[in-house]
Amino acid sequence: MARGLSGQGCEVHVHIGPQARGLIAESAWVLAGCRTPDGRPVDAPAVHLAGGGPEVPGVLVAVPETGPGQRLALRLDGGSARLEPAEDGLPFVEAVLDAVVAAYGRRVGGLAGRRIVVTSGGTREPMDPVRFITNRSSGKMGFALASAARDRGAEVTYIATSAQVPAPAGVRVVLAPSVAQLRAAVLEATGSAHVLVMAAAVSDFRPAAVASGKIKKGPSGMSLALETVANFVPEVPAGVLRVGFAAETDSDLDRAAAKMRQRGFDLLCLNDVSRPGVGFEVDTNKVWILDGTGVRVETDVLPKSAVAHRILDEVEAFLHVDATL
């Protein structure tokens, strides 16, 4: 298994042995043997529980305060969060590498020094205290974009509509389930940001009124009045690069371009969710990336992590051109 670290390769070596006696019984350690961008080797232990042992008493965090030429260590730090065991231990390897990238990504990469806001997931508009209207967005594309931006050195604010999908390591997390909450969180975060990536699937409609108690089931069904949700992207401060998404059931590029202009985006990523392996609830995606002049990029169906980097390639190019004007 390998993982890039700001353009550097990382080989992961798994070592099993009785270590950390007195801390965790019957433990194994995962060692991520790689080097940071400044050439220091990394010792990164992660716990994998054997035979249903005790819970991990903390989470992996980076300790980057060592001096030049010394080894960077990752340690188990006390806290309420814990890593869940898995048979192959690979989730722990991912956690190790996420921690390494989170510690070093901000110092290198094409987005170093940039502040990026990424929204993720499908908004939830309540009908009553029990039910809500939502969509099929899983948040996987937003997760991939936040991770990729972090890996490129950005300071990332990740605004999620739900906590059901874990947030990437090394980002600031804000929970905003409804459109109203998302709007407030976005406007606050973009006050000091360079880029907004609206990967969240924002509801177009919401109930005109929210019942104070659970709506009871009746013999003749029910009617629900909906109202249109206003677009808040034009309220984002001027000077913030705005990247949007359009999930459609076709690939009408002219309509996508019109939506980009109407919604106030600088770049728009169109995906045709009627195609296999594209859009919601899958790990792959295909996008057309548009700007004011037309299509900049058309990707193949790729893992969402790869699509995220293609999108950020265009963000970096856009920021570079803007900086030279």
Active site residues: 135
Q: How many CA atoms lie within 13 A of 163 on its CB side?
A: 3
Place of tokens 């606050």: 188
